[in-house]
Amino acid sequence: MSVYNLILVWSLSIQVVGAYSIWFSRTNIVTHVSAGFIVIGYIIPGLFTKYYTGFSEDILDLYVWTSFIGGIAYLAGLQASRFYSLRKQWIVNKIAVFKTAHFERNAAKQLKILLIVAIGSLILGYAIMGFVPMFAADPLSAKQFKGEYRDSYLRAAWIFRSGFMIAIFVMPIAAVYSFITKKRWFLAASVVLGFLILVSLAKGAAAIWLIFAVGVLAVRKRRWFILYFLFVIGVNLAGSIFNYVLSLLTGLQTFTVSDSTYGFADLVAAGAPDMVDQLNLLQAFVSHGSPWTFGRTFLGGLVPFSYQWNPSVWTLDQLNDGADVTEIVSGGLRLPVSLWGYVSFGWVGVVVVPALSGFVLGCFMRIAKKIILATDDPFVLAVLTVVLSYALIPLSAFYIWSLYLFPAVLISIFLLQRKRIVLMPGRYMSKLARATPSATPK
């Protein structure tokens, strides 16, 4: 285990869980879920496998140092967010709204509407497409809506995707609300949506709602939280191994090692080949003459269909030398913010893009933290966890914006927008006095 590997793993990991540096608490569920990913994506492959096999020393050096400098810049941006003042009237007003029973009642009515719309949209989407990926002749192509399934999918794309985004947004909130109020209809609707998403073969989306919901309910007791954290890691490990097994069954294996015998670490890394994918992308980018994107991929995801500067399309195009990406069974590569900065603006981008993203994320995280500590309410925690995950964090990741961001932002506004409460100074102080952050676990 070399120092290089340790530096690289730390650098990549900090770009995923750096928010711990400004909000280290059991209530930071979004980052806990991300921490589960770095175990399979970076820690195990980076420290216990020969991920670097077949790559030149120059490419490895470039990968390590862009990751390290980008990780430092990202961390600096997060710390700079501490200068953003939280003593703003709109934050106080929002806390006051969240602390009323009126907020929960209204949110429950809107949840019911959204759950019904999501169920109807997904069923209608499958009906218009004429196929369900799990039961299709070629499940992997159907899952990615590629090849012979593409035209059928395009006819129902806006209906299906809208229902999909609404579903993953409201399911964890509805499950927590059902647990709090004992209104089983909300949980039943979430289970139905979970099944409708599962048959699309989006197994991560089919499970994440349950992971979020269990996390909200587990933060109250340290013992439960420890078990929950182990559960998150275990789910990621199981998912990674499943990916590898699926790749063998379909012949689409994307990870190889030089050893003839796979160990456990190789098995896990084979299902989460992020480091190898990133090295392959960097190698292809350099071999093409390092044509900087100049930020065109930042907005490319906002253009419908297979636009050349869509981040997913661009990464696949780099790896496949201009082949028709609509025929490639892949949704694109996951790249760290440091690498997006490098391919966009070179070494300037390695510093500026992560720093700006970290600053924006830090502001969002600190606002959410303040509201959660002041309300000490599991329902509010569930709502803000989902809003962070699907709306605010993607907003901070401005370097890979996509059309799927709009439904999440609109749903967030639908759930959170309330009549503004104007507080007089005396009432303002009394509200702060009644807020009991110490009652919420640190």
pLDDT digits (tens, 9 = 90+) for 350-366: 999 999 999 999 999 99
Question: Structurally, how many domains does the chain consist of?
Answer: 1
Instruction: Give the Cα separation of 372 and 185 in Å (integer).
Output: 26
Range 237-254 average pLDDT: 65
Range 242-269 average pLDDT: 60
Give me the pLDDT at residue 305, please: 74
Asked if pLDDT for residue 439 goes beyond 50, the answer is no
Examine residue 37 and state whether it is found in any structural domain, yes or no. Answer: yes
More confident residue, 33 or 322: 33
> Which of 32, 158, 94 has the alpha carbon at shortest distance from 431?
94
Give me the pLDDT at residue 246, please: 62
Confidence of residue 415 (pLDDT cuts 50, 70, 90): confident
Contact 270, 262 (CB under 8 A): yes
Examine residue 397 and state whether it is found in any structural domain, yes or no. Answer: yes
Examine residue 14 and state whether it is found in any structural domain, yes or no. Answer: yes
Give me the pLDDT at residue 430, please: 41
Examine residue 147 and state whether it is found in any structural domain, yes or no. Answer: no
Non-local (6+) Cβ contacts of 415 within 8 A are: 107, 110, 111, 173, 383, 387
Examine residue 44 and state whether it is found in any structural domain, yes or no. Answer: yes
Kindly report the pTM of this predicted structure: 0.85
Confidence of residue 427 (pLDDT cuts 50, 70, 90): very low
Give me the pLDDT at residue 416, please: 77
Instruction: Give the Cα separation of 307 and 309 in Å (integer).
Output: 6
Range 85-94 average pLDDT: 86
Non-local (6+) Cβ contacts of 24 within 8 A are: 442
287-291, Cβ contacts within 8 angstroms, sequence gap of 24 or more: 288/318, 290/346
Range 242-253 average pLDDT: 60
> Which of 330, 306, 317 has the alpha carbon at shortest distance from 402?
306
Examine residue 133 and state whether it is found in any structural domain, yes or no. Answer: no
Scanning the structure block, which residue is given the tokens 């907020």?
Answer: 103
Non-local (6+) Cβ contacts of 28 within 8 A are: 19, 20, 365, 369
Side chain identity at 404, as an amino acid letter?
A: Y
Q: Which domain holds residue 418?
A: 1-103+221-436
More confident residue, 219 or 441: 219
Range 116-121 average pLDDT: 95
Instruction: Give the Cα separation of 403 and 419 in Å (integer).
Output: 28
Q: How many CB atoms neighbour CB 407 within 10 A?
A: 19
pLDDT single digits (tens) 165-224: 999 999 999 999 999 999 999 999 999 999 999 999 887 888 888 899 999 999 888 889
Examine residue 339 and state whether it is found in any structural domain, yes or no. Answer: yes
> Which of 391, 353, 372, 363 has the alpha carbon at shortest distance from 436?
372
pLDDT single digits (tens) 127-169: 999 999 988 888 878 888 887 888 899 899 889 988 999 999 9
Give me the percent of the chain exceeding a pLDDT of 90.
55
Q: How many CB atoms neighbour CB 291 within 10 A?
A: 9
Scanning the structure block, which residue is given the tokens 């789910």?
Answer: 235
Examine residue 209 and state whether it is found in any structural domain, yes or no. Answer: no
More confident residue, 239 or 214: 214
Range 31-58 average pLDDT: 91
Contact 233, 17 (CB under 8 A): no
Show the tokens assigned to 27. 């209530």
